[in-house]
């Protein structure tokens, strides 16, 4: 049976991975939005005129798997919790449909720009053998020996590209967390996280559509929210209002 979501996604013209290679936006401005799944459906109906959808081997709603690294003191989590504008995330991400895995470093500067570097690896277990140490020495603030895997994350992602090819829009749903230290799990199945990624402040159809639906920018870090939801012992004062709003949306959509 075709679901409403599948029907909405089938209306978009497709773009291939090869075509996407020219729109990587590794150095970019990111804007995030959190919205109920019902509002996401409205947005997709409106966005079909201005966007193409990434398709990989016939799939348009693609599964991602991520493992986040941090120090034992959770230095990267705490940098975000303390409100530092300049911060870093280190992760191993697998694109499940294509089977590709990358070690990635994301750095955010004090002007809100995100710079991402990555190298292909076979798996999370092969980082040191496949150049992970040298890669982190070059691009990260932390040595591989300082880090361990802290949080596992799975979600489904829709990727849209505007017809002018100046921005990418990722839409993540069915977000699941697994704390690798205490084995606690949580999930956010009633909401979607939309991330607008563009090179500079170019005009954005999505931004205008979301504004028209009364959806406004809202910070959301999967790593930080996942850590906070699965470990109450962590300092999380800065995240509490955001988590309260996220859980309110999530629970109302699940009812």
SS3 23: helix
Per-residue CA distances from 246 to 89, 193, 240, 251 (Å): 22, 10, 10, 9
List, as one string, the DSSP characters of 63-100.
EEEEEEEE-TT-HHHHHHHTT-SSEEEEEEEEETTTTE
Over range 221-249, report the average pLDDT.
92
Instruction: Kindly state the average pLDDT of the residues 132-157.
Output: 96
Select from 54, 37, 11, 15 the least CA-distant residue to 192.
37
pTM value is 0.90
Q: What is the mean predicted confidence (pLDDT) over 173-181?
A: 97
pLDDT in the model for residue 20? 77
Percent with pLDDT over 90 in the chain: 67
Q: 168 φ, ψ to 5°?
A: -120, 150
CATH superfamily to which 24-254 belongs: VTC, catalytic tunnel domain (3.20.100.30)
Q: Where are the domains of the chain?
A: 24-254
């Amino acid at each position: 049976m075709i679901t409403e979501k599948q029907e909405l996604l089938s209306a978009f013209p497709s773009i291939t991975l090869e075509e996407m290679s020219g729109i990587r936006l590794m150095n970019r401005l990111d804007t995030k939005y959190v919205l109920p799944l019902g509002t996401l459906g409205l947005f997709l109906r409106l966005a079909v005129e201005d966007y193409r959808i990434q398709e990989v081997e016939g799939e348009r709603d693609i599964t991602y798997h991520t493992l986040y690294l941090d120090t034992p003191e959770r230095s990267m989590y705490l940098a975000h919790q303390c409100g530092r504008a300049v911060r870093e995330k280190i992760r191993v991400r697998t694109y499940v449909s294509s089977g590709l895995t990358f070690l990635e470093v994301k750095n955010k500067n004090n002007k809100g720009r995100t710079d991402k570097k990555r190298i292909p690896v076979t798996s999370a277990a092969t980082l040191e053998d496949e150049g992970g140490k040298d890669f982190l020495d070059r691009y990260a603030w932390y040595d591989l020996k300082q880090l361990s895997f802290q949080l596992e994350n799975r979600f489904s992602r829709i990727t849209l590209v505007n017809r002018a090819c100046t921005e990418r829009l990722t839409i993540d749903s069915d977000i699941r967390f697994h704390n690798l230290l205490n084995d606690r799990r949580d999930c956010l199945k009633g909401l979607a996280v939309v991330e607008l990624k563009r090179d500079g402040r170019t005009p954005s159809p999505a931004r205008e559509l979301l504004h028209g639906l009364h959806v406004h920018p809202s910070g959301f870090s999967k790593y930080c929210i996942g850590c906070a939801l699965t470990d109450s012992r962590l300092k999380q004062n800065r995240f509490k209002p955001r988590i309260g709003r996220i859980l309110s949306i999530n629970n109302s959509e699940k009812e």
